[in-house]
Amino acid sequence: MWLLSNLKSWVYDVIIVKMTTTWYRYVLTDIRPDSFVLDIGIGTATALLNNSHLIEEKRLRIEGIDIDESYIQSAQKAIRDSAARSRVTASLGDALAHGGGPYQAIYFSGSFMIIPNKAKMLQRLCKECLATGGTVYFTQTFENEGFVGRVVKFVKPWLRYLTSIDFGDVTFWPEFEETLRMAEVKVCRKETMYKSLFRQHCMVVAVPK
């Protein structure tokens, strides 16, 4: 079990950390100094800790949660060995039931579209956990609609069986925007971090209506 748990965390870091390190850099750069941040889907915390200098420079406090126990075990070890250990925590937790705060920022690093009951969950977090004037951040891959997008929509759910990582379903911008509308959250800004022929990686900044 220990070997499988560590292998899963290693696969996670190898496959997605290079990409998500950039995602965290964009978000942490944008967040106001001295903020208390809820990181939903912190994973192994490797991508976050790769940006430790921003955490320290901006005096951020970050509370990370994830529903995967093996990721949290890896995250807790990485945090203990990090220079940011006094500013970052990681624990097993479910966004659907999480309390705490008030947070000046809530961040979903590619995790939002994986969570069930997304609109209801986001609406509750904004009402119960987000501080007045707080901001919600999303980093997400959006597929372009068309033939390739439809093919990827079919293939993507099966990647979990090949990699052990839940990439969720394919996300198109209209469905994402509609989910936020249902949660009574409005988009303030959408910034493209990387764009290719078939998809784009974006940072979305939003606030409750």
Angle at 127 (CA atoms; ends 75, 26), nearest 5 degrees: 45
For the chain, what is the domain count? 1
Tens digit of each residue's pLDDT (9 = 90 or more) over 68-108: 999 999 999 999 999 999 999 999 999 999 999 999 999 99
Residues spanned by the domain of 132: 2-208
Alpha helices for the chain (secondary structure H): 2-30, 46-49, 52-57, 69-80, 118-128, 147-155, 159-163, 173-182
Say which CATH number the domain at 79 has: 3.40.50.150
Q: Smallest Cα–Cα separation from 143: which of 169, 109, 181? A: 169
Mean pLDDT of 5-11: 47
The whole-number pLDDT of residue 139 equals 96
